[in-house]
Amino acid sequence: MTDASLSTLPPALANPRKPARFALARRTIITPILLSLLILAVAIVTVMTGSRPFNQAMIDIMVRVVLVVGLYIFIGNSGVLSFGHIGFTCLGAYAAAWLTINPLMKKTSLPGLPSFLLEARLPYWQSAIIAALFAGLAALIFGKVLMRLSGIAASIATFAVLAMINTIYSNWESVTGATSSVVGIPIVRVIWPYVGAAIVAIFIAWGHAISRSGLALRAARDEPTAAAASGVDIPKERLIAFAISGVIMGLGGAATAHSIGVVTPDTFYLGLTFITLAMLVVGGMSSLSGAVIGVLLLSALIQALRWLEAGVPLGSTTFALPKGLQEIALGVIMIVILALRPAGLIGNREITLFRVNRNK
Amino acid sequence: MLQIVFDSLSLGSLYALGALGIALIFGVMRLVNFAHGDVIAFSIFALLWPSTDAMAIVFAGQLPWYLLIPFVLLVGAGLSVLCEIVVFRRFRRANPATMMIASFALGFVIRYFLLMLFTSRPKSISLLPMLSQPVEIFGARLPLLQLITIIATVIILIGLTLFLRRTRFGLEMRAAAENFSMARMLGIRANRVIMGAFALSGALAGAIAMIFGSQTGTVDIQMGASIMLMAFIATVIGGLGSLAGAVLAGFLLGAASVIMQVVLPVDARPFRDAFVYGAVILVLLFRPQGLIAARGTKERV
């Protein structure tokens, strides 16, 4: 971005003409299109194999694409690490559960819900939209406070948000069923809604990244002092990104709820935080392509390790990894990748059709 | 009333020691060490023999107390230094976010290593059983352990202060915390100071493990996580990089937790931690830079 505008500076000075209105959009739209095609390709292959466990695994991947793209919107563009986003996923998942479980079941299992929620029984796509907006609202409220902090302090304070949401949802017996699982969420086994959610998330992330606010935020990430001096209101731009990513995390939460049909508070705690952050960082924290590719790569790796953990027949004996090694291997691989490539596999570039473009 | 004071002091001691361990490392290398909680868990598990039973098979735990305590402290310090040499040394030049993720991953590796050896079931263990008898002080009956926790913390804090103020190594460490590159230019060896900070922080983790293990009577691979979270929050409230702030905020958090436990209505008690976190966010609203802002943490231009 900066390079391009610098090189065209002299003619622009001679002839102060505004750049074509959607020039930036036209130049960068190829990235989300390519990423969506990649995801569609994965989905089509899945449908063609017709195997049910494979289908479920691919649905999990689509859900994670939504979550990691949601993380990218805030972390990638602002450069501030957040550990609290899975809390918004938790909010979204429970909101989706409240809206879609059969009212008869809700009356016995979650009697503390307000009556409009008790009677509600929406189709899954409506509940997903409401869940996403609910999580976004929560992110807006929390963000209003958190975004005043400096980078590292904000990161740790987001941890407090995660722990706070987890404490509330693990103890509020009548509304969230405390630590026992909430069952009866209608399960959607077709892959297309999840593919749709992933593509929507990718396009929202792209739209935000090329918006005025997204550009200002990335400028503040790279040169905070210069950006502030040029009139970028850093807390405000961070807050916008935080709220948008909260919406996407809520959407991801609703998708998680509908993909497995059960929610517990501990599904949305440190484990998921770690996995999603790992995917984002390994792929490349400040790149949308990095987010998507990180999900695909690490999901494949996790799947392979799970397969090894379950045991592989090797001649007459079965070769199986001891339990827990999957996580250890994942952690070690992450550390190695970070040590070798601190900016992630993709770095801060994006995939485009003609060449790998530097996205600054 | 006195009971509340002692409860909050002993809980606050744990948080303060944890916060101190995190602030020490943050001071010298701007690393927020998420593996700290798992170092705590590891140093207590080092006393046990790997097994899957609920009753712990004590291995080094049968040592007399004057050997047991140094053993746990050494395990903590050793693991912490090992983490530095194997992992964090590679990240000296990385930005804080990358280091934070790396430490998060390292903590995960340590935790699942413990899980592999000991399973995730909590185990009961009786460490230093003679400490659980109650004693009577000013008309309040307290477990001896609580008293010892507080005294031990005070001794550790005084010792650490003396160490940082009076010894050459302490001076180097404080100089490095203030301005690392300047300190290096003046001839302070970076590796030595950083390893010293990791060793101290690991020994503090060992101390927490001892205290927490003997207080609860159980060990659990998750046990470090809750203390660590509070300790992190204490370092932020105290002002990142400020050791005094970390200790002060640790005690404040302990007091806030105990007071809320007493004051809150019974229905709201399970949500105690949520209230504490909420209070933390409120404090940060008014003092975003922490209670005691450290020098040298603000980026210069």
Kindly tell me if the per-residue pLDDT of A147 is higher than 70: yes
With respect to residue B259, please indicate whether it lies within any of the assigned structural domains: no
Residue contact B116–A322, C-beta within 8 A = yes
* A164, A327, A342 ranked by CB distance to B108: nearest: A327
Structural domain includes residue B228: no
- ipTM for this prediction: 0.81
A2-23 residue pLDDT tens: 444 444 445 444 455 556 667 7
Q: What is the pLDDT of residues A180-214, one digit of tens each?
A: 788 888 888 888 999 999 999 999 999 999 999 99
Residues B28-54, buried b or exposed e (16+ Cβ, 10 A)?
bbbbbbbbbbbbbbbbbbbbbeeeeee
Asked if B280 lies within 8 A of A160 by C-beta distance, the reply is: yes
Among the partner-chain residues A146, A224, A327, the one whose CB lies closest to the CB of B112 is A327
| Residue A76 with chain B: CB contacts under 8 Å | none
Residue B55 forms part of a structural domain? yes
> What are the tens digits of pLDDT across the range B122-178?
777 766 666 666 776 666 667 788 888 888 899 999 998 899 888 988 888 888 887
The CA distance from A290 to the nearest CA of chain B, in Å, is 15
Q: By CA distance, what is B95's nearest residue in A?
A: A342
Query: Is the domain A21-358 a CATH 1.10.3470 member?
Result: yes
Judge whether B239 lies within some domain. Answer: no
Give the closest residue to A44 by CA, choosing from A31, A30, A29, A62.
Answer: A62
Give the residue numbers spanning the domain of B14: 2-129+139-221
Q: Within 10 Å of residue A20's Cβ, how many Cβ atoms?
A: 9
Contact by Cβ (8 Å): B242, B294: yes
pLDDT at residue A63, as a whole number: 95
A221: distance to nearest CA of chain B, Å?
12
Alpha helix (H) ranges present in B46-143?
65-86, 96-118
Mean pLDDT by 10 residues, chain B (301 residues): 83 91 86 89 80 58 74 90 90 80 88 82 71 67 80 90 89 83 85 90 91 80 82 85 87 89 80 83 77 59 49
Question: Which residue in A has a C-alpha nearest to residue B289's C-alpha?
Answer: A149
Question: In chain A, which residue's Cα lies nearest the Cα of B87?
Answer: A335
Q: Is the pLDDT of residue A339 over 50?
A: yes
Average pLDDT over residues A297-322: 76
If one counts the domains in chain B, the total is 1
Classify residue B284: in a domain, yes or no: no
Tell which B residues from 71 to 90 touch A, by Cβ distance under 8 Å.
Answer: 87, 90
Please give the Cα distance from B128 to B122 (Å, whole number). Answer: 19
Residue B107's closest chain A neighbor by CA?
A331
* Per-residue pLDDT at B119: 76
The Cα–Cα gap between A346 and A337 comes to 11
Residue B109, chain A, CB below 8 Å: the answer is yes
User: d(Cα A116, Cα A121) in Å, to the nearest integer?
Assistant: 10
